[in-house]
Homo-oligomer: A and B are copies of this chain.
């Protein structure tokens, strides 16, 4: 409400710009045929980029997650954006997160590994499990991003669940 009053009283030009931009986004943005992310064109720039490794497909919940992963500069494969997560409480089932599109993509013959990078919340974990089983049963190689202690993490201040997982999923030193 405060933003609306501010725009109408003090920044009518900004309000016009925002209205036009929103209308343009509504009119022009659709989903990329390959990665399902928002895109102005049938295939988005990232999917068209020949420099990227098409054999690796990283599955994320939302476009913001893709942006975060790009910020790490440590992944050069491609993505698939679910645009949501399984959430029976909100009536969101497998059909609502574009799994048919993901399945087609994962079995296109180019993708060698699917990396599931959904959140470690209960819904994200359930989504990861569902997708993992679905792809596994069709012979696709699937992996899940690692759980454990975060960077700078101190054992004294970390929750029991994380510590327990870190211990269970320990890595042998070579």
Q: Are A143 and B171 in contact (CB under 8 A)?
A: yes
Bound together, the chains give a CA A78 to CA B156 distance in angstroms of 18
Q: Are B60 and A164 in contact (CB under 8 A)?
A: no
Bound together, the chains give a CA A61 to CA B124 distance in angstroms of 33
A68-B158, A163-B69 known; A120 and B172 CB under 8 Å?
Answer: no
Q: How many copies does the complex hold?
A: 2
Bound together, the chains give a CA A162 to CA B170 distance in angstroms of 16
How many interface residues does A have (CB within 8 Å)?
55
Chain B contacts for A73, CB-based, 8 A: 164
Bound together, the chains give a CA A69 to CA B165 distance in angstroms of 11
Q: Are A132 and B72 in contact (CB under 8 A)?
A: no
Bound together, the chains give a CA A10 to CA B69 distance in angstroms of 57
* In the complex, per-residue mask of A54-98: 1 if CB is within 8 Å of any chain B CB, else 0: 000010111011001101111100000000000000000000000
Chain B contacts for A62, CB-based, 8 A: 156
Per a CB cutoff under 8 Å, which of B144, B146, B162 touches A151? B162
Per a CB cutoff under 8 Å, which of B58, B151, B168 touches A161? B151
